[in-house]
Amino acid sequence: MVSIYFSGLGVINSTQAQFSSTITGEAVSISVSPQYPNPNETVTATLDDYAIDATGAVITWLQNGVALPNTQNIRSITLRAPGAGEIIEITARLQFTNKPSLEANVSITPVYVDVIVEPLTYTPIFYQGRALPVHGSLVNLTALIHNRTGLVNPAGFTYNWQLNSKSVYGGPRTGNNRAQITVPFGRSSIVTLSVTDNTGKLLVRRLISVPSVEVDLEFYEVSTLYGLSQRALLDTVTIVGNSSTFRAVPYNLDNRAVLRNLFTEWEINGLRTSTTDTDPFEISLKRQSAGDATIGFKVRNLTELLQGDEQSFRVEF
Amino acid sequence: MKKTLLIIGGISTIVILFAIWLYLLLFGTPKPVADVFTNFGLFGNRSEPIEELPLPALPTEEIVDVATDKLRQLTVRPVIGFQEYAMSTTTPRRILYAESGTGHIFQINLETGEETRLSNTTVQNAQSASFSPRLGYVAIRSGYQNLNEVQLVELDDSGSGQATTLKARVSDFSFSADNELLYSELTTSGSNGIALNPKTKATRTVFTLPFQAATIIWSRDGITPHYVYPKASSKLYGYLYAIKNGVIVRQPAAGLGLMGSGNPEYISYTTVPLEEPISFIYNLSTDQTEISPILFEPNKCAFGTKTVTHLFCGYALTAYGYNFPDDWYKGTRTFADRIWMINLSDTTARQLVDPLRTVGRELDVIGIQVSSDEKMLYFLNKNDTTLWQYEI
């Protein structure tokens, strides 16, 4: 069983952890949901005995050999997964009056397997958030396995990365906990990571949603003395002094385009203007009379034409 | 009536009218409108001329109001970093701050309100600053673009300040309790946490992170571990890690838009699971997690310095939405925060002050710090980056 739950904006996250099932007796088993739980996560264990006639059986649940209270004749129990690297054994015992007892076992050994998503797109240094992927940009993925004491050396595991069900590197690679993908078309993509240990046993599977957003252009006023304002311009700004400088910041533009293959253009009242500034993202406006004007800016990645944005704001002077 | 009298009367009238015309011609020059407007005196303006009073001599040092209200604005200059210093119980408490854009260092005596400039060393486009806990050093980042550098300024009595440019490609920095400058340096495979002795300039590696886009909450007390999480975005998953003695240990906090920090007994963290962010308080000793009454954002909150169960936060009573914190970090969204004190043990919150009500200002709290005796809060207003103080 694979448990998928939705969290926010269509982002899918699935958590799964290692378990191995040992069935004692006939076709009786325990299914665990989520199949690969995180440490300390709430887990539901359900008895599957549909292959046999269990009429009249007394069901007893045990954790590490100790009977769990208030669980007799319950077909599904909820418990807390142990901490990272710890093991618990769950047993479901079926006792019959007219035939031998049956047992099903499952062991749960949760580990933290985190997948860090690092889009290689532009954000300014003052921005404290993470850059977001846009179509055609690169994204670095790093899998980190943790036990109780810290990070586990990735060399002892084999990683199989898939993007939208297609293998990223053609198959699993031992010791390589990093992957790089190019963001495909669509609002989001699903990256699947399977980690197996050196015995070939599946340790964990993770499903990660990688969103694809648009380039987001924002404007900021630049003070000659005090530097960049921390507040983005909204609709209208009033020039108080004789001149003002404004900076356009193209959030999430492909990093490779920022240094080359970039088209930028400033407009004043719809007319293209050439700026004398050496920085194509800044414009300085000098007040010569009273009135207002619309200042526009366009940016586009000439390699990936879908990467671009144009926005404008009004200045009153 | 006799004809003679009529002629005499007529001539007299003509003479009088001529005299009036002559007077007006010679003395009746129209005055500027401003001089006669609302001057209803029968014989013109008879008021005494205004004497200009001599202005009182300006003091050589500026005086900051540090006594009137519990919530006070300490600066009108934009500030990029500050630190309170209380050398002893007998010496006055003072605060040092670095001015945005110039990097000039100023000092405010918090008892007398005297403000003096300590360093006139200009750091062009100074964008962020961190002061050493023991007076003497300040690290200042210059430039707001990605090509920037960090300068270590040594404060001396001359006011000139010796500035040294760090060679490393620094992405984040802060001073430790041991007066070491802690900074993160990007590498090809992630980032390293480095400690630099500001006197000898010797460095040592504190930890190695396997990723670059990291927010590091540096330990300021030497007891709390450093907390690290991938930079927060409401659209991407994050995980909280504690780093102590170079070992990275995963904490039971993860989710979309994760942000978190902690003290030796509690971890506060926020995720954006659905349409609104939710904050949690995790008790490290009991292994229990409770929902926090106040939204936690590491820039807007600071743990108590004397009481481990205290957390002070700026928080606005409004919907934050599913784009938080991205929109707030970009500056497209601002908040009119109130100041709160959260009791972490029973997860209750008490409002300390509503600035909009008390001083009529919308304060978007960032960089909040608690004084060593836990009697003062200092923070910046993100709207204009002015420095504020609140007396608890």
Query: CATH number for the domain including A297?
Result: 2.60.40
Number of compact structural domains in chain A: 3
What ipTM, to 2 d.p.? 0.84
Q: Where in chain B is the domain with CATH 2.120.10.30?
A: 64-212
Confidence band (pLDDT; 50, 70, 90) for B205? Answer: very high
How long is chain B?
392
A121 touches chain B (CB under 8 A): no
Same-domain status, A90 and A119: no
The yes-or-no verdict on residue A191 having pLDDT over 90 is yes
Residues of B in contact with A84 (CB under 8 A): 250
Residues of A in contact with B255 (CB under 8 A): 7
Same-domain status, A90 and A154: no
Residues of B in contact with A144 (CB under 8 A): 210, 239, 250
Interface residue of B80, B141, B330 to substitute, partner A, most A CBs within 10 Å: B330
Top pLDDT among B315 and B158 is at B315
Torsion angle of alpha carbons A82, B231, B362, B105, nearest 10°? Answer: 120
d(CA B245, CA B249): 11
Q: Dig out the tokens for B346 from the structure.
A: 């029973």
Q: What is the pLDDT of residue A231?
A: 92
Q: What is the pLDDT of residue B27?
A: 67
Q: What is the CATH number of the domain that holds A130?
A: 2.60.40.10
Contact present, B322 and B276 (Cβ < 8 Å): yes
Nearest beta carbon to residue B230 from set A40, A130, A226: A130
- Residue bearing tokens 């404004």: A246
Identify which of A122, A135, A266 has the alpha carbon closest to the alpha carbon of residue A210.
Answer: A135
Q: Dig out the tokens for B49 from the structure.
A: 């001329």
Q: What is the pLDDT of residue A190?
A: 97
d(CA A132, CA A140): 11
Contact present, B213 and B222 (Cβ < 8 Å): no
How long is chain A?
317
Q: Residue A307 is part of which domain span?
A: 216-316
d(CA A29, CA B126): 65
d(CA B59, CA B365): 32
> Which of B39-43, B201-205, B272-276 comes out lowest in average pLDDT?
B39-43
Identify which of B149, B163, B161 has the alpha carbon closest to the alpha carbon of residue B106.
Answer: B161
> Which of B121-130, B156-165, B169-178 comes out lowest in average pLDDT?
B156-165
A220 touches chain B (CB under 8 A): yes
Q: Dig out the tokens for B239 from the structure.
A: 């995980």
Confidence band (pLDDT; 50, 70, 90) for B58? Answer: very low
Q: Dig out the tokens for B386 from the structure.
A: 């002015």
Nearest residue on chain A to B128, judged by CA atoms? A126
Q: Where in chain B is the domain with CATH 2.130.10.10?
A: 224-392
The yes-or-no verdict on residue B32 having pLDDT over 70 is no
Residues of A in contact with B323 (CB under 8 A): none
What does DSSP say about strands A308-316 and A236-238: parallel, antiparallel, or unpaired? parallel
The yes-or-no verdict on residue B60 having pLDDT over 70 is no
d(CA A296, CA A267): 5
Confidence band (pLDDT; 50, 70, 90) for A275? Answer: low
d(CA B276, CA B323): 9
Residues of B in contact with A126 (CB under 8 A): 127-128, 144
User: Which of A252-266, B5-19, B338-352 shows the highest mean pLDDT?
Assistant: B338-352
d(CA A285, CA B188): 40
The yes-or-no verdict on residue A23 having pLDDT over 60 is no
Nearest beta carbon to residue A84 from set B125, B127, B250: B250
Residues 11-50 of A with CB under 8 A from B: 11, 13, 38-40
- Please give the order of strands across the beta sheet that includes A88-95: A18-24, A102-109, A88-95, A58-63, A66-67
The single-letter DSSP state of residue A143 is: E
Burial of residue A74 (CB within 10 Å: 0-12, 13-18, 19+) is: middle
Q: What is the pLDDT of residue B169?
A: 82
Nearest residue on chain B to A123, judged by CA atoms? B146
Q: What's the rounded mean pLDDT across residues A228-236?
A: 89
Residues of A in contact with B212 (CB under 8 A): 118
d(CA A31, CA A46): 5
Q: What is the pLDDT of residue B295?
A: 96
Q: What's the rounded mean pLDDT across residues B271-279?
A: 93
Q: What's the rounded mean pLDDT across residues B82-97?
A: 86
Q: What is the pLDDT of residue A149?
A: 84
The yes-or-no verdict on residue A246 having pLDDT over 50 is yes
Is the overall model pTM greater than 0.90, yes or no?
no
Q: Give me the CATH code for the B224-392 domain, please.
A: 2.130.10.10
Q: What's the rounded mean pLDDT across residues B168-190?
A: 91
CA distance readout (Å), A276 to A43, A294, B257 = 63, 19, 40
d(CA A219, CA A234): 8
Q: What's the rounded mean pLDDT across residues A275-282?
A: 77
Residues of A in contact with B332 (CB under 8 A): 218, 232, 234
The yes-or-no verdict on residue B6 having pLDDT over 90 is no
Q: Dump pLDDT digits (tens) for A123-144.
A: 998 899 999 999 999 999 999 9
d(CA B163, CA B182): 17
Q: What's the rounded mean pLDDT across residues B316-343?
A: 96
Question: Count of H helices and E strands in chain B?
Answer: 4, 29
Q: Dump pLDDT digits (tens) for A39-96.
A: 888 999 999 887 777 777 899 999 999 999 988 889 999 999 988 878 899 999 988 8
Q: What is the mean pLDDT of chain A?
A: 85
Confidence band (pLDDT; 50, 70, 90) for B159? Answer: low
Torsion angle of alpha carbons B351, B353, B357, B359, nearest 10°? Answer: -170
Contact present, B115 and B61 (Cβ < 8 Å): yes
Contact A218 B273 (CB under 8 A): no
Q: Residues of A188-200 as b/e, b for ≥16 C-beta within 10 angstroms?
A: bbebbbbbbeeee
Interface residue of A231, A237, A279 to substitute, partner B, most B CBs within 10 Å: A231
Q: What's the rounded mean pLDDT across residues B314-326?
A: 96
Question: Where would I find the H helices in chain B?
Answer: 3-27, 33-36, 326-330, 355-358
Confidence band (pLDDT; 50, 70, 90) for A266? Answer: very high
Residues of B in contact with A229 (CB under 8 A): 331
Confidence band (pLDDT; 50, 70, 90) for B56? Answer: very low
Residues 133-192 of A with CB under 8 A from B: 140, 142, 144, 146, 149-151
The yes-or-no verdict on residue A220 having pLDDT over 50 is yes
Same-domain status, A13 and A68: yes
What is the number of other CB atoms lying within 10 angstroms of the CB of residue B123?
28
Confidence band (pLDDT; 50, 70, 90) for B124? Answer: confident
Nearest residue on chain B to A279, judged by CA atoms? B145
d(CA B222, CA B220): 6
The yes-or-no verdict on residue B144 having pLDDT over 90 is no
Same-domain status, A75 and A127: no
Contact present, B140 and B123 (Cβ < 8 Å): yes
Cα A207 → chain centroid? 9
Same-domain status, A33 and A75: yes
A165: left (phi over 0), alpha (psi -120 to 50) or beta: left
Q: What is the pLDDT of residue B44?
A: 40
What is the number of other CB atoms lying within 10 angstroms of the CB of residue B13?
10
Residues of A in contact with B275 (CB under 8 A): 8
Nearest beta carbon to residue A8 from set B102, B274, B329: B274
Same-domain status, A103 and A10: yes
Nearest beta carbon to residue B215 from set A84, A128, A131: A128
Contact B213 A150 (CB under 8 A): no
What is the number of other CB atoms lying within 10 angstroms of the CB of residue B169?
16
Cα A307 → chain centroid? 21
Top pLDDT among B150 and B54 is at B150
> Which of A202-211, B12-21, B31-40 comes out lowest in average pLDDT?
B31-40
Q: What's the rounded mean pLDDT across residues B229-257?
A: 95
Q: From the CA of B63, how many Å to the nearest CA of chain A?
A: 22
Which residues is A309 bridged to in the sheet?
A: A299
Q: What is the pLDDT of residue A113?
A: 92
The yes-or-no verdict on residue A36 having pLDDT over 90 is no
Q: From the CA of A223, how many Å to the nearest CA of chain B?
A: 8
Contact B331 A232 (CB under 8 A): yes
Contact present, A264 and A253 (Cβ < 8 Å): no
Q: What is the pLDDT of residue B29?
A: 52
Q: What's the rounded mean pLDDT across residues B373-389?
A: 95
Identify which of A91, A83, A88 has the alpha carbon closest to the alpha carbon of residue A108.
Answer: A88
Q: What is the pLDDT of residue B356?
A: 94
Q: What is the mean pLDDT of chain B?
A: 87
- Domain final residue pick, A211, A232, A258: A211
Residues of A in contact with B334 (CB under 8 A): 231
Residues of B in contact with A227 (CB under 8 A): 100-101, 125-127, 144
Which residues is A151 bridged to in the sheet?
A: A146
Nearest beta carbon to residue A231 from set B143, B233, B331: B331
Q: What's the rounded mean pLDDT across residues B229-234?
A: 98
Confidence band (pLDDT; 50, 70, 90) for A304? Answer: confident
Q: What's the rounded mean pLDDT across residues B297-324?
A: 96
Contact B274 A144 (CB under 8 A): no
Q: What's the rounded mean pLDDT across residues B35-41?
A: 41
- Residue bearing tokens 């403000």: B115
Residues of A in contact with B148 (CB under 8 A): 125
Torsion angle of alpha carbons A54, A59, A63, A66, nearest 10°? Answer: -130
The yes-or-no verdict on residue B375 having pLDDT over 50 is yes
Q: What percent of chain A has pLDDT over 90?
A: 50
The yes-or-no verdict on residue A207 having pLDDT over 80 is yes
The yes-or-no verdict on residue B307 having pLDDT over 70 is yes
User: Phi, psi (5° rounding) for residue B143?
Assistant: 90, 135
Q: What percent of chain A has pLDDT over 70?
A: 91
Q: What is the pLDDT of residue B49?
A: 39
Q: What is the pLDDT of residue A18?
A: 38
User: Which of A214-218, A279-283, B68-72, B86-90 shows the highest mean pLDDT?
Assistant: A214-218
What does DSSP say about strands A5-6 and A12-15: parallel, antiparallel, or unpaired? antiparallel
Q: Dig out the tokens for B341 from the structure.
A: 């004190």
The yes-or-no verdict on residue B153 having pLDDT over 80 is yes
- Domain final residue pick, A88, A109, A130: A109
Q: From the CA of A119, how many Å to the nearest CA of chain B?
A: 9
Q: From the CA of A129, how many Å to the nearest CA of chain B?
A: 5
Q: What percent of chain B has pLDDT over 70?
A: 87
Contact A126 B127 (CB under 8 A): yes
Contact present, B201 and B164 (Cβ < 8 Å): yes
d(CA A78, CA A258): 52
Q: What is the pLDDT of residue A9?
A: 30
- B64-212: CATH topology is Neuraminidase (2.120.10)
